[in-house]
Amino acid sequence: MTDTLIIIQATSNELSKSDLAAAGFGREAAAASGGSFDILLLGPSAAALSAEVAGLGGGTVFTMSSAELEVYTAEAFAAAAAAFLSGHPYRLTAAATSSATKEYFPRLAALLDVPMASDVLKVESVDPQKAVLTRAVFVGNLLATVELEAPQALVTCRSSEFAPPASGGESSAVEPVDAPTALASPGKVFVGLEAASSDRPDLKEADIIVSVGRGTRGPDEGIPLCERLADVLGAALGATRAVVDAGWLANEFQIGQTGKIVAPEVYVAIGLSGSIQHLAGMRNSKTIVAINKDPEAPIFEVADLGLVADLFDAVPELTAALESRGG
Amino acid sequence: MKLLVTLKRTPQRDARIRISEEGDALDLDNVQFEVNPFDELAVEEALRIKEARGEAEVVVVSVGAEECEQQLVSAMAMGADRAVRVHHDGELDSLQVAKALAAVVEREEPDLVLSGKLAVDDECGQVPAMLAGLLGWPQASQASDIELSEDASGATVVCEVDAGLETVSLALPAVIMADLRLNEPRYASLPGIMKAKKKPIATLGIEELGDLGPARSRVTGFRALEDKPPGIKVGSVEELVQALEEKKLI
Amino acid sequence: MDKLNTIFAATVTREILWNVPTWARALMYILFLAAAVFCVLGIARRVRSWRRGREAGEAVSPGKAWRRLWRDAVLQVRIWRSGAAGLGHALVFWGFLVLFLGTCIVAVEDYGSWLLGREHLFFTGTFYLGVSFALEVFGIFFLLGLVLALSRRRSGERLRPLSRPVDLAVLWLFLVIGLSGFATEGLRIAAAGGGLESHPFERWSFVGWWLATGLQGLEVNVLTSLHLGFWVGHMVLSMVFIALIPYCKLRHIFFAPVNIALREDRKAGRYLGVSMEEVEETGRYGAAVASDFTRRQLMSFDACTECARCQTVCPATATGKPLSPMKVVLDIAGSSEGGESLHGDEISPDVLWACTSCGACVEECPVYIDQLGAIVDLRRHLVAEGEIRGSAQAALRSVAAAGNPWGMPREDRADWAEGLGVPTIDEVDSPELLFWIGCAGSYDRRSRKVTEAMVRILQAAGVRFAILGKGECCTGDPARRMGDEFTYNELAGANIESLSAATFERVLTTCPHCFNAIRNEYPDLGGNYDVVHHSEFIEELLASGRLVLEDGAAVRGTLHDPCYLARQNDVVEAPRSVLRSTGLDVVEPEQSGKEGFCCGAGGGRMWMEEDTGERINSERWSQLQETDPETVAVGCPFCMTMMTDARDAVDSPVEVKDIAELVAERLPGSPA
């Protein structure tokens, strides 16, 4: 039992980047354990996606769908995966971290009575009795080495850390499997889904935030330039208290002691000096980029990357450079 | 009705966490602890449900050594009625904790279990869903809104999923996990703190709760992310883009 | 001689209740009885409502009480500060007082002579003339005061959003009582004894005499009928007034002097502590209902004259926030007879959180009501209910957990001192000064420059000083102002422990909030230290010659007084004197010193959003700009933040600098 199973949720007709990354994890885990990896497509689009998934370098692609898997629920997906795994014991069973796997993988672990590691960044080693993995703890400030001491274990993996396997290899065999019956919990009913608006991401959730200060000189001058940059980066827009006070942006954009407290991967501070009230709201950001024409601005003291420049030149230039990268 | 809230003692949000010299543990000597912020949201939600229904018992439960009673007291200072501490001094993995909690749930027979969606220290986010799995109860994760039916037989929950907001309806008993936007926790007040001192904390020995199995998930080492290099100033937009690319940030 | 004889004859008096028939006298006694019962019952109800309050505080010695009464009740000293309104009140008050005494004299004379069976007692001759004359003079004062008050209301000179029709009615009632009194007198002089010629000495009642001369053409029976009519009117209205006293703002006639005499001796910056044992016992904390206040507080709320001075000076009211300190006081007083919750639509959390704790209301109140103390007690209830959310709650949590309201790491607290040669307390043996840095001075990059400037000054003056370093934590000021006594006690207790373990002569602070807490509030917890604000200390260094500054070009500037320095702690002159020695030409804004206008950051407001009305800091900034300054000097890190933000909001080139920075710039060898 040296093989890895990757579970992909097949509730839409498209593979996502993270599904590809999960396959990348499968390849790494397989390499570490000296085995191969298979893929289980779970959900109504399993058959439709199987051809594409068969090109990801896995051994076998299993497809499972049924009326009860039509709509995702943690209860049904965990039960289906448990049923499959009880017939096919794998060394590691993994999926990309998502809102779904965050809730059904631990449930699955409980059903199978196996240990689990969440949101893994790196595979260190996989032996028959022990898998060693690296994951982030304490808001990503520390890395922890986790040992799963069991012949079977579950893993969710962070998709940004695993490269999709190169396509074009041999096509895997596709094997439909029957879904067990009475999967869905009678106690859970899916009512509806309100799709996220296509606007910029929520400040609290965003990986990247472009934050604007008084130096932008308002909604008729610098702020549109920064908004364009935010759009190119897929970033949320934030602001200092001064900008909100001036009425340039609404209250909900305010970051700082009396506004929102954020900790994105990248915080791009444009035309803001970095008062303590503002720092209190963003100092835990992973990487802080500052663009300000005043080299003495305190924001440079906390910035990882600082650019002393007039934002009216630098921001459009940066936007153009990122656009040309095809970002 | 009875509401059970699970909570974890976690280092204070702003605390700077250091690694022990051997690298296999955390140096938490000078660190202050608090109720895991997501669990605090769960406590607040339980209290709001109690207030809205006029009558309900809120029981908080934690697994850990004696010092985690401080956090149970904090929750009772917010308004929880009583606490249960499963005594264990040492490491447990998520599944063991979930099993211990499942045993507590079987004793307490609550109508609803509320938890935070994850603990801010290990960020695993496994225990509540494992608990639901062990109990065979329906679950709702990352809840941003919870509405109980009048007869408390079910709940409609809005969950923050990757694709947007998902609404599910659950039959109780169930496990619901609180997300950031669920509510804004109240401040544990002075009379609350005073009253909390008099509220009961029942202690259960972990061995009373049946076989939890071995710990099969263990953290064996910690590493700091490479020390954040001192900030650098770049000379041009071009250099900035290059630096961002090097850091894999774009 | 004839004339003198006449004047000094025993007939120099008047017949009391002349021309008042028995029915009218009976009416007077019936009405008086009714009015007195009404009045006494009203007062008794108020006093009963006070007695529901908690017992707390120390008694005031009789000597002190009388001195206070003499100064602020009789001489009206405190009220003089408010210009025309003060003059108006003093005139009405003195007029009223003397007219009341006059009435008492008449009553004593009347009943006394009746009891003793004598025709007169003392209300004759010179005494009669003197009293008559005095009553004329003070009667005129009374009327003048009323006319002044009425005309001010007419011209709408002052912001009086709470002035109600009843307030105006009271003034008119007084005016009619006063005028009808003079009319009655004039008619009596004109008609009694056959006319003016029969009592020429009544010239001393010069107003009545003058009226009487004008009435001479009228027939005697017309005059007597008119006299009776006016007498009855005057009497009925006076009885109405007596009956009304406890039921409207007139109650201050009784209660203001009581409060002036018996008020607690406490600075506005020193809050009444809460006993943890009591909270544990009762489960009550803060004011949920009126009876949660102390008896003395309840008594003080009844002293309110509804003059609205407190809300006129309140920075929250002035910038359109829902708070009016007067309304809070009246709302509490209004509910003190029932037991209903004070919190609701009227006293909402928005009202209570709007307070900057600047203490302007307390400073201004003519009858010494502590509005701030009331607001804090009400805030404590919100905290007790856990009703403190958002950024305010975050600041409280940070202050409790990290020892500073921004949640910065504790171990970074002394990072600012790196490389500056600043020793910690364990490195210096009994230093002269313990330099208390404060959270802003430790973490806020702008305020750190002030800390550094102060270090340069201390080093230049050769002062042996040390810091607590990482052992220092927030004084607890923000927690206390926000109503969280528990966190305040924890923090203050920890600091007192650190301070008491060290040996030093004095504590130096650059933050007036730290200054106030350590100086005025720590003693209540057993921490007694000699605390000095940096403006005072620099003044001493300059005066003793330990510090010498270089001359430089004069700069036109102004000073924004920190509330917790000037108003709460009377430090007004030191910063000015220091600034002058740096060459700053200090131009005073209209509101300065103890009457300064808050920057908006006190009372925990530093950590709350200000989303209603105008911004307080912007309002203050515009006030300061009227002095046309090149530099705005501040002496507080909160003021620094607020003034800098307000300046940046209008893109002004004016510099905002702390006193220490301006001094450090003039140290020998400093770059100008």
Of C239, C259, C279, which residue is a domain's last? C259
Which residues of chain C are within 8 Å of residue A258 when distances are taken between CB atoms?
A: 390-391, 607-609
Clarify whether residues C371 and C436 are in a common domain: no
Contact B169 A189 (CB under 8 A): yes
Is some CB atom of chain A closer than 8 A to the CB atom of B33? no
Range of the domain at C645: 548-665
Is A327's pLDDT higher than 50? Answer: no
Q: Is residue C464 part of a domain?
A: yes
Contact C274 B190 (CB under 8 A): yes
Residue that the structure tokens 């400040």 belong to: A203
Is some CB atom of chain C closer than 8 A to the CB atom of B14? yes
pLDDT tens column, C60-93: 999 999 999 999 999 999 988 878 888 999 999 9
Which of B12, B186, B194 comes nearest C386 by C-beta?
B186
The minimum CA-CA distance between C482 and chain B, rounded to whole Å, is 12
pLDDT tens column, A50-109: 999 999 888 999 999 999 999 999 999 999 999 999 989 999 999 999 999 999 999 999
The minimum CA-CA distance between A205 and chain C, rounded to whole Å, is 18
Residue that the structure tokens 């000037």 belong to: C566
CATH code of the domain containing C500: 3.40.50.1860
Contact A242 C608 (CB under 8 A): no
What is Dmax (Cα atoms) for chain C?
101
Q: What is the pLDDT of residue A91?
A: 95
Contact B166 A193 (CB under 8 A): yes
Is some CB atom of chain C closer than 8 A to the CB atom of B53? no
The minimum CA-CA distance between A304 and chain B, rounded to whole Å, is 4
What residues of chain C score a pLDDT lower than 50?
Answer: 1, 4-8, 10, 159
Which residues of chain B are within 8 Å of residue C390 when distances are taken between CB atoms?
A: 184
CATH code of the domain containing C158: 1.20.950
Distance CA C138, CA B39 (A): 72
Residue A98's CB is within 10 A of a number of other CB atoms, namely 20
Q: Of all helices (H) and strands (E), which one includes residue B3?
A: strand B2-6
Q: What is the pLDDT of residue C155?
A: 66
pLDDT tens column, A299-310: 998 899 999 999
Is some CB atom of chain A closer than 8 A to the CB atom of B12? no
Q: What is the pLDDT of residue A197?
A: 64
Contact A280 C407 (CB under 8 A): yes
CATH code of the domain containing C350: 1.10.1060.10
Asked if the peptide bond before residue B173 counts as cis, ω within 30 degrees of 0, the response is: yes
β-pairing verdict for A208-212 and A266-270: parallel
Contact A193 B163 (CB under 8 A): yes
Contact B168 A306 (CB under 8 A): no
The minimum CA-CA distance between C473 and chain B, rounded to whole Å, is 15
Which residues of chain B are within 8 Å of residue C484 when distances are taken between CB atoms?
A: 187, 190
B50 with B58: CB under 8 angstroms?
yes
CA dihedral angle for residue C104, residue C108, residue C109, residue C112, rounded to 10 degrees = 170
Q: Is residue C346 part of a domain?
A: yes
State the ipTM, two decimals. Answer: 0.93
Q: How far apart are the first and last CA of chain A?
A: 41
- Domains defined for chain B, CATH in brackets: 2-246 (3.40.50.620)
C632 with C654: CB under 8 angstroms?
yes
Distance CA C191, CA C260 (A): 45
Q: Among residues A178, A183, A19, which one has the least CA distance to residue A88?
A: A178
For testing the chain A interface, which of B240, B242, B248 should be mutated: the one with the most A CBs within 10 Å? B240
| Chain C nearest-CA residue for A258 | C391
- Domains defined for chain A, CATH in brackets: 4-176 (3.40.50.620), 208-324 (3.40.50.1220)
What is Dmax (Cα atoms) for chain B?
66
Which residues of chain C are within 8 Å of residue B14 when distances are taken between CB atoms?
A: 398, 401-402, 407-409
Distance CA C630, CA C611 (A): 30
Which residues of chain B are within 8 Å of residue C380 when distances are taken between CB atoms?
A: 190
Which residues of chain A are within 8 Å of residue C648 when distances are taken between CB atoms?
A: 214, 242
DSSP B205-230: EGGGG-------EEEEEEEE-S-PPP
Which of A242, A246, A301 comes nearest C445 by C-beta?
A301
**Residues ≥6 apart with Cβ < 8 Å to C653:** none
Clarify whether residues C146 and C40 are in a common domain: yes
C308 with C517: CB under 8 angstroms?
no
Clarify whether residues C277 and C199 are in a common domain: no
Clarify whether residues C40 and C181 are in a common domain: yes
Q: Is residue C580 part of a domain?
A: yes
Q: Is residue C53 part of a domain?
A: no
* C668: DSSP letter: T
Q: Is residue C397 part of a domain?
A: no
Contact C384 B190 (CB under 8 A): yes
The minimum CA-CA distance between A143 and chain B, rounded to whole Å, is 5
For testing the chain A interface, which of C388, C393, C398, C406 should be mutated: the one with the most A CBs within 10 Å? C406
> Residue B54, Cα to own-chain centre: how many angstroms?
25
Q: Is residue C311 part of a domain?
A: yes
Chains touching C, CB cut-off 8 Å, 3+ pairs: A, B
The minimum CA-CA distance between A258 and chain C, rounded to whole Å, is 5
**Across all residues in chain B, what is the average pLDDT?**
92
Is A198's pLDDT higher than 70? Answer: no
Higher pLDDT, B124 or C216: B124
Clarify whether residues C25 and C173 are in a common domain: yes
Q: How far apart are the first and last CA of chain B?
A: 51
Alpha helices in chain B (DSSP H): 37-53, 69-78, 94-108, 127-135, 190-198, 237-246
Clarify whether residues C516 and C566 are in a common domain: no
The minimum CA-CA distance between A168 and chain B, rounded to whole Å, is 26
Clarify whether residues C490 and C350 are in a common domain: no
| Chain B nearest-CA residue for C387 | B186
Is A259's pLDDT higher than 80? Answer: no
C394 with C356: CB under 8 angstroms?
no
Of C511, C541, C571, which residue is a domain's last? C541
Tokens of C274: 């809460």
pLDDT band at B14 (very low <50, low <70, confident <90, very high): confident
Q: What is the pLDDT of residue C635?
A: 97
Clarify whether residues C512 and C536 are in a common domain: yes
Which of C383, C402, C411 comes nearest B189 by C-beta?
C383
Contact C445 A258 (CB under 8 A): no
Dihedral sign of CA atoms C546, C552, C553, C555 in order: negative
Q: Is residue C229 part of a domain?
A: yes
| Chain A nearest-CA residue for B157 | A191
The minimum CA-CA distance between C477 and chain B, rounded to whole Å, is 17
Which residues of chain C are within 8 Å of residue B194 when distances are taken between CB atoms?
A: 276, 279-280, 283
Contact C398 B16 (CB under 8 A): no
Is some CB atom of chain A closer than 8 A to the CB atom of B190? no
Contact C445 A298 (CB under 8 A): yes
Of C206, C234, C259, which residue is a domain's last? C259
Contact A301 B122 (CB under 8 A): no
C-alpha distances out from residue A34 to A1, A3, A37, A92, C32, Å = 10, 8, 10, 12, 109
Chains touching A, CB cut-off 8 Å, 3+ pairs: B, C
Beta strands in C562-630 (DSSP E): 584-586
Distance CA C658, CA C652 (A): 17
Dihedral sign of CA atoms C192, C194, C199, C200 in order: positive
Clarify whether residues C526 and C431 are in a common domain: yes
Q: If contacts are CB pairs under 8 Å, which of residues 93-152 in chain B contact chain C?
A: none
Contact C645 A241 (CB under 8 A): yes
Clarify whether residues C210 and C185 are in a common domain: yes
Which residues of chain B are within 8 Å of residue C385 when distances are taken between CB atoms?
A: 186, 189
B203 with B85: CB under 8 angstroms?
yes
Contact B34 C389 (CB under 8 A): no
Q: Is residue C61 part of a domain?
A: no
Q: What is the pLDDT of residue B97?
A: 97
> Which range has the worst mean pLDDT, A252-266, B34-48, C374-388?
A252-266
Across the strands, what pairs with C584? C555
| Chain C nearest-CA residue for A244 | C611
Count of domains in chain C?
4
Q: What is the pLDDT of residue C526?
A: 95
B3 with B46: CB under 8 angstroms?
yes
Distance CA C654, CA C629 (A): 7
Clarify whether residues C277 and C338 are in a common domain: yes
A130 with A41: CB under 8 angstroms?
no
Clarify whether residues C127 and C170 are in a common domain: yes
